Amino acid sequence: MEARKKVAFYTLGCKLNFSETSTIARNFQEEGFDRVDFEEVADIYVINTCSVTENADKQFKQIVRKALKHNDKAFVAAVGCYAQLKPEELAAVDGVDLVLGATEKFKITDYINDLSKNDMGEVHSCEISEADFYVGSYSIGDRTRAFLKVQDGCDYKCTYCTIPLARGISRSDTLQNVLDNAREISSQNIREIVLTGVNIGDYGKGEFGNKKHEHTFYELVQELDKVEGIERLRISSIEPNLLKNETIEFVSKSRTFVPHFHIPLQSGSNDILKLMRRRYLREIYTERVNKIREVMPHACIGVDVIVGFPGETDEHFLETYNFLSEMDISYLHVFTYSERDNTAAATMGGVVPINVRNKRSKMLRGLSVKKRRAFYEGQLGSTRTVLFEGDNREGYITGFTENYVKIKMPWNPELINTLQEVKLLTIDENGLVKAEFTDVTLINNGISNAFEALLA
């Protein structure tokens, strides 16, 4: 009997890519392949690429070399956003056999027949306008949390962004499918589901192939909250213009949705927001943050921001810095602008020198550290629920509270994938929060005593 073929995966980029890799991997398994780790010998290596990654081409070549080091006869396939945007470039990389674009990636097993290596990578790509159908996905990230895709593509035209070119128009999974997937995930003993998509606030558009909204994001949130068995739901990232007050209010009273919002700002200057062709001004952003703070003072609010966009003067940057400095937010994800082919921003004037971009990025990253610390300090003394994760990090187990405070406690494997109530005590030198159990049974089990001994 012929041995079962082995397939390994490498994922670059966002949670959405991770959820799609899981779906592609399940397709392989259904076709009789065994999934192995990327560090092992496999017959096929699939690389799910990202176009947002800095030096995407260099990184891709390194990963291909790594795969071929494990097995120089292995079949290498590339899928994902970069494969859609630059298929010929990827196909020309030594050792690559197959490149699949946005419409083909979920059919990858149909393209893999005899596994013989090609001299030049074979490309099966499409015009991105053809990527108008929806493929549902979810992934189990670690043993505690799953990423559930609810929406794909984007109809916005932000001038710096290649995602609409790589993923196509905005379209959504049906409400029924999302609810079924959520039930399926929670039946696998997963405690937390993170909703993912390209522009999830646009949920409902393209459901049933109809460009009108069939359901809204607010309805999705309400329905998911009713699904039995789900313990925690997290909204990953949502555009400020699409985060409605009704959703914020619902989350504040919800059984499952946690008080954590990640809202892209990109710039605190209205001039730059207009150049970026974002669909809001800074005043809307302030309103959203104020609304969240009004109903959930303890909520965690994360912000995406881009520095060095063309035309961003020192004054514009200072506007962003001061805006964020004064705003009651909890952390920043800082992106340094870099030119992308086929985007409007790539040909705009007012190019910011690289050293200035880097300096601005460093300033905002410094501000982020201060913001996170201030947020954590404000949480000390409060009682929260932690979902403990699986890794033993130098004798500690870590996990996140509902409002995204990272907690560490002495390692105890029994805690993995459990939700525990803890009191937040102090912040350690690495910026993690030490805590103690509030449950006397755990204290009597010696877990807390061991922790106190470590604290002493």
What H or E segment, with its residue span, contains residue 285? helix 282-295
Nearest residue (CB) to ligand SF4, 173 versus 239: 239
Which of the ranges 97-105, 156-164, 216-224, 328-336 carries the binding residues for ligand SF4, by CB under 6 A? Answer: 156-164
Task: Tell me the site size for ligand SF4, rule CB under 6 A.
Answer: 9
CB atoms within 10 A of CB 448: 20
Q: Is 273 in the site for ligand SF4 (CB under 6 A)?
A: no
Question: Structure tokens of 37?
Answer: 């780790």
Which of 10-18, 97-105, 157-165, 255-263 is the region at the interface with ligand SF4 (rule: CB under 6 A)? 157-165
Q: Which of 46, 63, 198, 296 binds ligand SF4 (CB under 6 A)?
A: 198
CA distance 356 to 366: 15
Q: For ligand SF4, which residue of 11, 22, 103, 199 counts as binding (CB under 6 A)?
A: 199
Structure tokens at 33: 């392949």
Least distance in angstroms from the C-beta of 163 to ligand SF4? 4
Phi, psi (5° rounding) for residue 76? Answer: -115, 125
Q: Does 403 bind ligand SF4 (CB under 6 A)?
A: no
d(CA 159, CA 168): 15
Residue number with CB closer to ligand SF4 (158 or 435):
158
Nearer to ligand SF4, 185 or 306 (CB): 306
DSSP at 425: E
DSSP-assigned states of every residue in 155-177: ----TT--HHHHH-S-EE--HHH
Among positions 128, 158, 263, 415, the unique one binding ligand SF4 when judged by CB under 6 A? 158
Nearer to ligand SF4, 112 or 158 (CB): 158
Supply the minimum distance, in Å, between the C-beta of residue 198 and ligand SF4.
5
Identify the CA nearest to 80 among candidates 18, 2, 28, 132.
18
- Residue with Cβ nearer ligand SF4 (158 or 352): 158
Report how far residue 251's alpha carbon sits from residue 246's, in angstroms, rounded to the nearest whole number: 9
Does residue 5 sit in helix, strand or coil?
Answer: coil
154 binds ligand SF4 (CB under 6 A): yes
Identify residues 225-254 at the interface with ligand SF4 (CB under 6 A). Answer: 239
| Torsion 373-374-376-381 (CA) sign | positive
List binders of ligand SF4 among 159-188 (CB under 6 A): 161, 163-164
- Written as one string, the DSSP assignment of 175-232 is HHHHHHHHHHHHTTT--EEEEE-SSGGGTTBTGGG-SSBSS-HHHHHHHHHT-TT--E
156 binds ligand SF4 (CB under 6 A): yes
CB of 335 to ligand SF4, least distance (A): 10
Q: Using the minimum distance from each CB to ligand SF4, give the nearer residue, 154 or 178.
A: 154
Residue 114, helix vs strand vs coil = coil
Token pair in block for residue 324: 């964020």
Residue range at the interface with ligand SF4 (CB under 6 A); choices 91-99, 150-158, 216-224, 287-295: 150-158
Q: Is 46 in the site for ligand SF4 (CB under 6 A)?
A: no
CB of 279 to ligand SF4, least distance (A): 8
Residue 305 in the binding site for ligand SF4 (CB under 6 A): no
Angle at alpha carbon of residue 148, lines to 145 and 150, rounded to 5° = 160
Interaction site with ligand SF4 (CB under 6 A)? 154, 156, 158, 161, 163-164, 198-199, 239
